[in-house]
Structure 1
Amino acid sequence: MVFGEIRKGAARFARVAAVITTAAVITGTTARAETLADALVSAYNHSGLLDQNRALLRAADEDVAAAGAALEPVLRWTASITESIGRGQGSSALGALNSDSLVASGQLIADVLLYDFGATAFGIEVAKETVLATRQSLIGIEQQVLQRGVQAYMGVIEAAEFVTLRQNNVRVLTQELSAARNRFEVGEVTRTDVALAEAQLAQARSGLAGAQGNYAIAVEEYRNVIGRAPGRLSPPPSLPRIGSDIEAAKAVAVRNHPNMRAVQYQVSAAELAIKAAEASKRPTISAQGILSLSENLDSSNFNRGASIGLNAGGTLYAGGARSSGVRKAQAQRDAQRGNLHVVRHNIQQNVGIAYAQLSSARATIDASDRQITAARIAFRGVREEATLGARTTLDVLDAEQALLDAEAARISAQSLIYNAAYAVLASTGQLTARELRLPVQQYDVNEYYNLVKNSPTSQSKQGKQLDRVLQKLQK
């Protein structure tokens, strides 16, 4: 593959172990070095963002159950107890008339939808397409979590490398300042040379303080994303295998990226929503059965009855609200189609950017390796010539700065190349726990859906299974 030649660059990261081991005194040590895979497993298990979106997926599953329940019979009851008090005056023979009574009544009513021209069925299909879209969105969130995990891991290593580099720079410039002062004492250089060395050392110490601050920031990011402070980190592994054909990668991304597939399901749901809105304008046919009981508690009078019938009905005029609903659904469909176009081009762009960053980092590494070699030779030579009086202190400081710049560029490029490589995987939809073969308990998107899709009641066998699944998820 195109990145075989840069794997040797990973060895350079081995020297960061020293500074990370030192930093572990502050952040805590572990029995063995933590690998990138270990960090990604922790990021996956620690992520509240994944938990949040899994719950949102379960909410979308419940929409399927709620939509499907409209096709099930609805059984409801009513009950009442009524006391009537009446007084009246009759003829002289009858005297006063009393009409007190206490009546209890109740009804058991069953309704079932028989036919609504597919409005409810279309609504169920809309909910199912939304579930599929939400599943893809969950995969997209998973990619974000893992990509941020890679960035946090590489961020700590890069920051530690910069601390080491700045520490070495301070050490060298301290030696240069000491040498400049000694030469000033014997009259070989002027006070200006000493001041230049002092200024350069002060700048180096400022750079070290900034590098240490950036390391502390990287540690906090690592703690947030991974769930704990970094201990002793292993050098990053070999780069993932990535093809060199950018156009082929873009084609794969358009087919497989979860964001693309989510929008495709959203377009399908919007199409079905139009059909549901059109069907809702038509009549509905339902059946109703009623059992009724009425009993006078003050006497032996009672009444029992039953009825069954078909009901049909619809709206003749609603001020154009139903037609507006259809037009709204069509507009939402058009919006989703437009979003599909945007997402497709964004995905292709992200693939191209990731490959460009990867190529740039590789070129920077190759150039900086040569630059470091030349700058190190130049620095040593200038320093030797300065001891002989052939070079000034400023020449030595400039040579040291050139070497520092080359080494800093190498560190940044090495971190960038890993972030870009994993960004390529994310841009093509391949940065998932399954694709990376991480040893994690992956969330089963079908388990909850299969239990709720048929709208089980809490007292049914399926409902009790659902309660056990929810208890497990809460743990």
Structure 2
Amino acid sequence: MARGILNSVKAGFFAVSAAVIVPVASHAETLADALASAYTHSGLLQQNRALLRAADEDVAATYALLRPVLNWSSTVTQDFGTYSSSSTSGLDVSLDSTEAFFGLGFELLLYDNGATRFAVDAAKETVLSTRQTLVNVEQAILFEAVQGFMDVVRDAQIVQLQQNNLRLVARELQAAKDRFEVGEVTRTDVALAEARLAGGRADLAVAQGNLMQARERFAAATGHQPGALVAPSVAPKTPASLDDAKAVAIRSHPLMIKAQHDITTAEIGVMRARALMGPSVKLQGSYGLTEDFSDPYSTHAGSVGISATGIIYQGGRQSALYRQAMANRDATRAGLHDTRHAIRQQAGNAWAILSAATAQLAASGEQIEASQIAFDGIREEAKLGSRTTLDVLIAEQDLLDAKSNRITAQAAQYSAAYGVLSSMGLLTADHLNLNVEKYDPVAYYNLVEDAPTISSKRGKQLDKVLRAIGKE
């Protein structure tokens, strides 16, 4: 129903709005241009992309715990003083020696009941969850741009409508004055027209103030003030029914997908907490060189061994952490239930707003047609003396209200259509096919997943990527 009405009225709306907002010009800004600007301008998107990269690095840092650890240590010791003993017959002997030590240490985790592997898996799920948070932020940014754009389109048309109305009321006032001069109307008719003109000026001031606010909202969303705007000519494709919208939302909305990944993370957390109760086995080794500068000889020594550790008693701490992990898992599962209902409600609300705006737009068209006929007829009758100036002014106000209602309904309808896309998780740069360089959340993850070192080839690539991001 909503789509059918939307398609039947959109041609008339945009033929009018495009003519009202801007004449044909090569530099005119479209809604797609505004959305592209919002996508590239948003600091909130950049912030959440950085948070996603931080989550990527969590995977790398946790994965590194499965690799060998090689470290070095060194010391230089200066011994000085005197000592005496029976071997020196009680005489003081000076002590002065310098000793240097350099050693290497090695450690490799062999077994920890799978706890570290579980930590890696949990970190990966957290990355997938954080990606969905980024998608949700992207949707909010783009929807704010849609609303800012349509608000400017709407308020600019209302300003023009109020200006046209002022010219019309001024003519009515002049006509009332002329008729008063020849005795056809009273001074009351002139005063009514003057009052309506003053009210029209006040309404124009309000409309201009609303337009200024809309322009600021547009600038905040896109990073620049609106210039010549062209209202969209094609409505975004929406589902055929409310049930279809809800079904897509349950499958595709980023918050729904995020909740599912959060549950997996919590389940892995339970397994990790259980695994931490078990023993761990490590391979350890060391090798060192000790050089005494007061002695021509040096010492070389090393060792290799396997160590195993396990908890016998820790005051019940591990058991408490295990139960805590299970409680967190249960809470996350319960949260999925609420998320599902919230997403369904959001889709239903967006669909209701679209349906109401579509119905309002269709009705306002009929209202304008009837009001225009009534206004034209009353004005002609007033010329013949069968209608008063008040009748003309009332009819003119009814026509103005009808046109204003249509302008508001037109903007609301298109904002609502994008709201439906947002409720389904489809208001993204990919789905809208925006002409922007899209951020690839997988590219950075692929570079860091296996924890490359700074000096490696991939580490140097990452350094270049981060420097490029920092210059944006």
Q: Under TM normalisation by the shorter chain, which class is it?
A: over 0.9
Q: Whole-Å Cα distance in 1 between the matches of residues 14 and 159 of structure 2?
A: 13
The code of the aligned residue for 2:12 comes to A
The code of the aligned residue for 2:64 comes to A
The code of the aligned residue for 1:284 comes to S
| Number of the residue aligned with 2:423 | 427
CA deviations on 1:105-133 (whole Å, 9 max, x unpaired) are: 23211111111101100000000000111
2:36 pairs, out of 26, 30, 41, with 41
1:79 lines up with 2:80 in the alignment: no
1:371 lines up with 2:367 in the alignment: yes
Q: Whole-Å Cα distance in 2 between the matches of residues 9 and 373 of structure 1?
A: 17
Secondary structure of 1:86's aligned partner: strand
CA deviations on 1:290-336 (whole Å, 9 max, x unpaired) are: 10222211122422101011111123333332222222222222222
2:404 pairs, out of 389, 405, 408, with 408
Percent of aligned pairs sharing the same letter: 50
| Number of the residue aligned with 1:3 | 3
| Number of the residue aligned with 1:385 | 381
| Number of the residue aligned with 2:296 | 300
Alignment RMSD (CA, Å): 2.0
Q: Whole-Å Cα distance in 2 between the matches of residues 420 and 18 of structure 1?
A: 23
CA deviations on 1:367-400 (whole Å, 9 max, x unpaired) are: 1111111111111222222223222222222111
Q: Whole-Å Cα distance in 1 between the matches of residues 224 and 106 of structure 2?
A: 57
Is 2:132–2:257's contact at 8 Å kept on the other side of the alignment? yes
Secondary structure of 2:363's aligned partner: helix
Is 1:30–1:231's contact at 8 Å kept on the other side of the alignment? no
Cα distance, 1:21 vs structure 2: 4.2
1:70 lines up with 2:65 in the alignment: yes
Secondary structure of 2:209's aligned partner: helix
| Number of the residue aligned with 1:338 | 334
Q: Whole-Å Cα distance in 1 between the matches of residues 440 and 261 of structure 2?
A: 20
Distance change in 2, residues 1:363/1:93 (3 Å): closer
Q: Whole-Å Cα distance in 2 between the matches of residues 241 and 21 of structure 1?
A: 25
1:170 lines up with 2:171 in the alignment: no
The code of the aligned residue for 1:82 comes to T
Q: Whole-Å Cα distance in 2 between the matches of residues 49 and 172 of structure 1?
A: 47
The code of the aligned residue for 1:449 comes to Y
1:315 pairs, out of 295, 311, 318, with 311
Distance change in 2, residues 1:82/1:405 (3 Å): same
Is 1:10–1:235's contact at 8 Å kept on the other side of the alignment? no
Report 1:21-420 matches (<5 A): 21=22, 31-90=26-85, 95-420=91-416
Cα distance, 1:419 vs structure 2: 0.8
Count the aligned residue pairs.
Answer: 469
CA deviations on 1:156-214 (whole Å, 9 max, x unpaired) are: 11011101111111111111222222233333333332222222211111110111111
Distance change in 2, residues 1:262/1:89 (3 Å): closer
Q: Whole-Å Cα distance in 2 between the matches of residues 156 and 342 of structure 1?
A: 36
Q: Which consecutive unaligned segments of at least 5 residues does structure 1 have? A: 23-28
Q: Structure 2 length as normaliser, TM-score? A: 0.94
The code of the aligned residue for 2:361 comes to I
Q: Whole-Å Cα distance in 1 between the matches of residues 3 and 299 of structure 2?
A: 88
Q: Structure 1 length as normaliser, TM-score? A: 0.93
Q: Whole-Å Cα distance in 2 between the matches of residues 177 and 205 of structure 1?
A: 14
Is 2:22–2:28's contact at 8 Å kept on the other side of the alignment? no
The code of the aligned residue for 1:51 comes to Q
